[in-house]
């Protein structure tokens, strides 16, 4: 299953380190099970995005050595890809960038012909450079945000309501970030997504890891932050998001949680409905 990690650091630039290979419990081990790509996206202190992504497994890529990947920015997104649609190319790797926003997705959306027709109708087909369902979902959200005069939360809601009504869905867990804000959505109940509220900045060590990703930041020992992840990491305060819940973290780290999609998709897929490759990609390893 693809893995998501998001970090929002109060709109102030911090330095964070991500281990992609030789760190304990590292992302390279997950990439051996998810051998289709890894990516890191960050907004630099001046608000410009920096996206580093690889279309093949980290353990086979010379660019991803055993050295830590150290980045400075205000918001971060990390992703490990297990492909359901699209070849192993940079254009199909996460995170994606559209209209100055970063996006990563975990799940499966089918009915891509229907979705493509909708994107054509909305005039945003040109935003899709690759072949993935994820980039198409992002383009739909981007079109909806534009129609909502830049209201990202409303755009996410509009896009997801259309998807829920119009195409078969297995899962749409997503992270979307700007230099100052971050949004997370879990939908439906297929895969988990967790939130860690560190806004108290109580001096606790910021070193988070599982057997899929490791992240650390000395700055965030004393500075508040909010973190999202596909599974709990080394802190005991992780809160599971409710299926259908949309969470917004603003520039001041105010957390807004609302139930946006209380009902399951009109055509909710099960693992039995997926192709063998797609079903394997959604497997949650022990």
Q: Residue 163 is inside which H or E element, if any?
A: helix 152-166
Burial of 100 per CB tally in 10 Å (0-12, 13-18, 19+) = exposed
Q: What is the pLDDT along the chain (286 residues), one digit of tens a residue?
A: 567 889 999 878 899 988 654 444 444 454 444 446 678 899 998 999 998 876 555 445 545 544 567 889 999 998 765 555 544 555 667 699 999 999 999 899 999 999 999 999 999 999 998 888 999 999 999 999 999 999 999 999 999 999 999 999 999 999 999 999 999 999 999 999 999 999 987 788 888 876 666 788 988 988 999 999 988 887 779 999 999 999 999 999 999 999 999 999 999 999 888 877 677 666 655 4
Three-state SS at 117 = helix
In the DSSP assignment, the letter for residue 148 is T
Structure tokens at 159: 């896009």
Tokens of 261: 């999609």
Q: Could you give all domains of the chain from N- to C-terminal order, each with its CATH number? A: 3-107+174-281 (3.60.20.10)
Neighbours of 154 (CB within 10 A): 14
């Amino acid at each position: 299953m693809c893995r998501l990690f998001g970090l929002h650091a109060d709109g102030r630039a911090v330095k964070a380190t991500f281990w992609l290979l030789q760190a304990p419990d590292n992302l390279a081990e997950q990439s051996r099970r998810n051998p289709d790509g890894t990516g890191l996206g960050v907004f630099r202190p001046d608000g410009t995005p920096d996206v580093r992504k690889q279309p093949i497994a980290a353990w086979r890529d010379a660019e991803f050595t055993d050295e830590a990947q150290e980045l400075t920015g205000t918001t971060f997104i990390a992703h490990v890809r297990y492909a359901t649609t699209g070849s192993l190319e940079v254009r199909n790797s996460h995170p994606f960038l559209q209209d100055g926003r970063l996006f990563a997705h975990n799940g499966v959306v089918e009915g891509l012909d229907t979705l493509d027709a909708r994107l054509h109708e909305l005039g945003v087909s040109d935003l899709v450079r690759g072949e993935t369902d994820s980039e198409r979902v992002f383009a739909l959200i981007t079109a909806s945000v534009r129609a909502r005069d830049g209201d990202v939360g409303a755009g996410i809601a509009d896009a997801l309501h259309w998807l829920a009504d119009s195409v078969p869905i297995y899962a749409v867990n997503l992270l979307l970030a700007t230099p100052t804000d971050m949004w997370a959505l879990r939908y439906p109940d297929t895969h988990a997504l967790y939130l860690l509220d560190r806004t108290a900045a109580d001096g606790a060590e910021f070193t988070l890891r599982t057997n899929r990703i490791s992240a650390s930041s000395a700055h965030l020992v004393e500075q508040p932050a909010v973190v999202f992840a596909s599974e709990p990491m080394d802190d005991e305060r992780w809160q599971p998001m409710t299926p259908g819940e949309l969470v917004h973290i603003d520039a001041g780290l105010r957390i807004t949680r609302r139930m946006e999609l209380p009902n399951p998709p009109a055509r909710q897929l099960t693992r039995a409905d997926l192709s063998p490759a797609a079903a394997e990609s959604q497997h949650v390893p022990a």
